[in-house]
């Protein structure tokens, strides 16, 4: 399996680049943010719970997120591989993902970290708010909280993968095509 963790702050372009990656490498895309939003739209219990955190720009608790992710992986055990988009966002999630992969006799192949400066992130999220209809993009205080949570809780996940020599940093500034090319080169370099 080719199992890619696509990592980066809110607004880094993970969703956009995931679409390119799944097309090129025939992978199953698991975006925890998308799954939460689908549950919110369908007003499930999980959706109601997730919404109470997402609307404040906080992380959904690890236990809830990990159980949801596990269920999605188990639904797709015959996949050629996965792109994990927006997961893991804490070290506890990273450990849980390793355990899940190991239990399947698999492992994470690489972690691609999209590096984008904070001014650009704020601009992209403010622009996305105009088309996404996402309440968490529309409020500057919520955007700031997401960036702060990223710095405190999520950025350390880079060290987790660095210690396994799996963290590849990619310049996430430039055109969408330029960034896709950089990511493809990094993934092809693995083989």
The site for ligand ADP (CB under 6 A) is made up of 10-11, 14, 32-33, 36, 53-54, 57-60, 65, 86-87, 89, 93, 136, 146
- Residue 10 or 172 having the CB closest to ligand ADP: 10
Residue of minimal Cβ distance to ligand ADP: 33
Closest by CA to 93, choosing from 21, 13, 9, 161, is 161
Q: For ligand ADP, which is the closer residue by CB, 27 or 149? A: 149
Residues near 3 by beta carbon (within 8 Å), at least 6 away in sequence: 81, 82, 84, 101, 106, 107, 108, 109
- CB-CB contact of 161 with 88 (8 Å): no
The residues annotated with a catalytic role in the active site are 14, 89, 128, 134, 146
Tell the burial category of 175 from Cβ atoms under 10 Å away from its Cβ (0-12, 13-18, 19+).
exposed
Give the nearest distance from C-beta 174 to ligand ADP in angstroms.
Answer: 19
Nearer to ligand ADP, 4 or 14 (CB): 14
């Amino acid at each position: 399996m080719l199992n890619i963790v696509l990592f980066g702050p809110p607004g880094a372009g993970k969703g956009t680049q995931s679409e390119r990656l799944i097309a090129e490498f025939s992978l199953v895309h698991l975006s925890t943010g998308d799954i939460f939003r689908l549950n919110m739209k369908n007003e499930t219990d999980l959706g109601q719970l997730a919404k109470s955190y997402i609307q404040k720009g906080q992380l959904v608790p690890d236990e809830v997120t990990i159980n949801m992710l596990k269920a999605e992986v188990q639904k797709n055990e015959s996949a050629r591989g996965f792109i994990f988009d927006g997961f893991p966002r804490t070290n506890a999630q990273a450990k849980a993902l390793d355990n899940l992969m190991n239990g399947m006799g698999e492992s994470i192949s690489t972690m691609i970290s999209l590096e984008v400066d904070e001014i650009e992130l704020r601009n992209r999220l403010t622009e996305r708010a105009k088309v996404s209809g996402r309440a968490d993009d529309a409020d500057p205080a919520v955007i700031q909280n997401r960036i702060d949570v990223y710095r405190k809780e999520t950025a350390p996940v880079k060290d987790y993968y660095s210690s396994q020599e799996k963290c590849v940093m990619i310049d996430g500034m430039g055109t969408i095509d330029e960034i896709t090319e950089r990511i493809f080169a990094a993934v092809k370099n693995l083989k």
